[in-house]
Structure 1
Amino acid sequence: MTAATAVGTVTLAEAGPWSRYGWLVSVVWLVFLIYPIVALAQSEADPLWVVVGAVATAVFAVGYVVGFVVGMRSGWLCSPRLVWRIFGVLVVCPVLTIPAIGDEVLTFLPFFVAYAGFLLARSLMWVVGAVTVVVGGTVAVFAGGVGQHVAVLIAIALAFVMTATTTTLIEAGIHDQQTELALSASRERETIARDVHDLIGHTLTVVKLKADLAARLVTAEPDRAAAEIEQVSQLAAEAIASVRRTVTGMQATTLADQLAASAAALSDAGVSMTTCGEVAAISPVQSLTAGWILREATTNILRHAGARAVRVEVGPGRVTIEDDGQGVAAPVGNGIRSMTERAAQAGARLDIEPVHPTGTRVSVTW
């Protein structure tokens, strides 16, 4: 699998703010349309061709931005058919301006390098870049003005270098994020395995011992055997509860999933929950840790806080859970220690502090 293919599977949610707002890059590039616009304004061609060129330039600008919006929001380097169709329209538009501006049409070429670099597969970026350089050089030679168009040819080269560098860095960043996400998922599986071994394994071992004892006592001491069987039933119920908690942890690993799970659990207990901010403000890797900490915080609130309302705030590199309960109880329990350790493993800091007049605030910050 090539790098472009691997990264092309990144969805809008996974790529985060880049896929959401990366299309603004195209708006910045539109400043270079000033050159064909000036050429149209100074053109001595038939007014009809000037109008056609102006309309084609306007369509080019709109299509360029729309192409970036569609492409970025479809996933990094994942090009739907509409992106290709828009690319075809962008190729036609400059051609329609030739009768009005002549060889000034070369000023459109840097746009194609950027479009291909950000929206098409990596291999196509090199193809489009090479074709653009060849076309630009050929037109400049036949127009008899290589020196006159040297600035445009330099702009094409700079656009190619800048686009290749930028997209390579973005691609590497997404690849690193995917690697870290896989490592975080692996750590989650290790945690689940440890919970199963420590909690469920121990309980089932005791259940077996007590069941064997009850089997031996059922004839000689039926009352004692009945007591042992009752304890087996209680232990089995505890094991079932542990399994459910573990399965819940596997099903609600991300912050988005856990927000829904926590809201439902708190609502069942008569506690309201409000959420501020967007989950996309933190990375998918941070989301795993934040979801786990939110789950633990929700459990603590339900067990100990006696709260009536909970507020969850999500911001860049930070998630805060605040309740209006009775405050932090001493000494620190296993749940808080576990949250602190989990945050430290993720390179974050966990802060737990009282809220005036009552309540507790749990914050995880990267």
Structure 2
Amino acid sequence: MTGENPDVAKNPWERFASVMALIWLVFLIYPVVALVRSEAAVGWIIAGWIALALFIALYVVGAIRGLRSDMPLGSPVGPAPWLFFAGLIASALVSIPAEGGAALSFLPFIMSFASYGLTRLWHWITIGAALTVAAMYVFLAPGGMGYVTILIIIALLAVVNTVSTTLVIRSAEAERLGLELATSEGREAVARDVHDLIGHSLTVVGLKSQLARRLIDSDPERAKAELADIEALTAEAIAGVRATVSGARTVTLDEQLAASGDALRAAGVELAVDGDPAALSPAQALTATWILREATTNVLRHAEASRVRVRVAAGHLSFTDDGRGRGGREGNGVRGMRERAAAAGAQLRLEDEPAGGTVVEVTW
């Protein structure tokens, strides 16, 4: 209740906040009639009118402040709501000598203010106090049965306020949990992207470094070319990580096929590509790009293969090597491929071939 969000001012509902608050004031007709008909001393009648006017002002201003607040319902509040709450109670008490039982009409407003403007504890305290006071007056005071309608209204409002505030609080909690889940999933996605990108790049850099070391004496020019590739790969990996963190990185399937071919050839592995990458939709190509990257990395790290074949068709991508197979192993990279395929609505098949090697197949 203490903080006001400037963005909320743009909400069209705020334009009707005062109207909504004023509509409820129609129920204060009972105190008005009681003051008009009051036989109390003139001083108490004047005090009653002043208290009624103050009550209306506090209620309307407090309701508008509550609608503009960005504090979660039921959370701890600052001093201002408590001052409004105390003012409402004081105004109701001052009006009792002139209004008598009609002053019970103030209780629904005080209950609603506590339910929507104060803490959850005070929601229950105010409901309990209002029901007790109203019931005692109706059943014990002379002529109290004439106000049984107000007691019923208070009881119904207690139920309505409890149910509605509970739903609002649970909805806010669900939204908060959803945000936390989305944040967690986003972090996992970034971690997976970085793993896929860095794992692939470092594997290729390691292979090219070994090749450059072997060639540095026998073929210095070739060694320089490999070192230049290492420099380019490192720059690409850094740029990729930055783009991943910002959510802006896009790598096409054509680009990944070329990059995988370069990396595999540097390791002495032949790559054959069948089909047209354009056969996949943009969304499918995005998933296929990541799976192709991870499959290439796995071959470079573990497969000891000499040949890889990639087949691309409408709704289909397969990556087959003639290496030694996985042997039942499934690390973070394979789990990442499964997660990406599932997120894209695709089926991933990853099996060792009877004749040797592994096939990775994605089908939409």
TM-score, length-scaled by structure 2? 0.61
Matched residue type, 2:147: H
Any idea what the Cα deviations from partners look like across 1:245-276, whole Å, max 9, x if unmatched?
12224xxxxxxxxxxxxxxxxxxxxxxxxxxx
Matched, 1:68 2:63: yes
The equivalent residue for 1:184 is 182
1:200 matched to which residue of 2? 198
How far apart, in 2, do the equivalents of 1:176 and 1:141 lie? 43
Q: CA offset at residue 16 of structure 1?
A: 12
Classify 1:90/1:174 alpha carbon distance in 2 versus 1 (closer, same or farther; 3 Å). Answer: same
1:219 to 217, 220, 225: 217
After TM superposition, the structure 1 = structure 2 runs for residues 33-182 of structure 1, keeping only pairs within 5 Å, are 33-72=28-67, 73=69, 74-78=71-75, 79-141=77-139, 143-182=141-180
Aligned residue type for 2:55: F
Contact 1:218–1:225 (CA<8 Å) still a contact in 2?
yes
What is the count of residue pairs matched by the alignment?
A: 259
Partner of 1:245: 243
Letter in 2 for 1:52: A
Q: Distance in 1 between matches of 2:23 and 2:285?
A: 47
Matched position secondary structure for 1:144: coil
Q: Relative to 1, partners in 2 of residues 1:174 and 1:237: Cα closer, same or farther, differing over 3 Å?
A: same
CA contact (8 A) 2:54 2:91 kept: yes
RMSD across aligned C-alpha pairs, in angstroms? Answer: 3.7
The letter for the 2-side match of 1:128 is T
Change (3 A) 1:80 1:242: same
Q: Which runs of 5+ in 2 are unaligned?
A: 252-277, 288-338, 345-364
- The equivalences for 1:254-293 within 5 A come to none
Give secondary structure in 2 for the equivalent of 1:148.
helix
State the TM-score, normalized to the length of structure 1.
0.61
Contact 1:113 1:128 (C-alpha < 8 Å) held by counterparts: yes
Return closer, same or farther for 1:224/1:345 CA change in 2, 3 Å cut-off.
closer
Q: CA deviation at 1:223?
A: 1.1
Structure 1 portions without partners, runs of 5+: 1-7, 250-294, 301-328, 347-366
Q: Indicate conservation of the 8 Å contact 1:39/1:101, yes or no.
A: yes
Residue in structure 2 matched with residue 279 of structure 1 by the alignment:
none
Matches within 5 A, 1:290-309: none
Classify 1:330/1:42 alpha carbon distance in 2 versus 1 (closer, same or farther; 3 Å): farther
